[in-house]
Amino acid sequence: MLELLDLQQVLVLDIETVPQYASYDALTPHFQELWCHKVKNILQDGESAADVYHTAGLHAEFGKIICLSVGIFYQRNSRMGFRVKSFAQADERELLTGFSTLLRRQPASLVLCGHNGKSFDFPYICKRTIINGLGLPPQLDVSGKKPWEVNHLDTMELWRFGDFRNNVSLNLIAAVLGIPTPKDDISGEDVYEVYYKENNLERIRVYCEKDVITTAQILRRLRGEPLIEPDDISFAE
């Protein structure tokens, strides 16, 4: 049961992704053909594959991770604290190497938690790790494991309480639970332009860290616990 979970054995994470290239024209002819095949069934009248290339970051085969933020709970005297760290850079392989090194220093039983993590963040990280020629840390290697053997938590799944009719955004859950919104600057839809047109990775990092903090706060509320106070949230370099 959720209330029996040791929060100090939980790593909360979130990723921000973009297309591997700034434009469709930068793709090789082969990958242009593959992208066309990928999106052919979702194109609206008059749209071309190039028109929707800005969404390629949603697909691990065509996108890349530019920011991966993590957070850990820790006991601070009689209060619960939360510490956040980010891996944010254009070199995805280096980013994933840093994250993998962090995970390998932790127990294999470490629980990973994300919002929509089971459908997006966790598989995306696994695919991009393999694509970059890196081995999977034990916390991400789910091959051969039964569902109850996988130490992954998903706040979207927890919030559903068995209702699978629709997805619920992090922003919406935060709003109904009285948690400050993480979308006070940019949203996921803005990441492509902020990265490729503004060249502002720092802005994306701050946004990603807010999502991690919000996910952690939602987990606290789902356990019937008070929110972590702002003074108890810290950031690692």
Two tokens at 41?
């069934």
In this prediction, residue 203 carries a pLDDT of 95
Two tokens at 61?
């085969």
In this prediction, residue 134 carries a pLDDT of 97
In this prediction, residue 231 carries a pLDDT of 93
Sort strands 10-19 and 111-114 into parallel, antiparallel or unpaired.
parallel
In this prediction, residue 23 carries a pLDDT of 96
In this prediction, residue 33 carries a pLDDT of 97
- pLDDT tens-digit map of 106-120: 999 999 999 999 999
Cβ-based neighbour number of residue 203 at 10 Å: 16
Stretches where the chain sits below pLDDT 70 are none
Beta strands in 164-221 (DSSP E): none
**Which domains does the chain carry?**
2-20+62-235 (3.30.420.10)
Phi, psi values for residue 27, rounded to 5° = -70, 150
In this prediction, residue 185 carries a pLDDT of 78
The residue assigned the tokens 């839809």 is 189
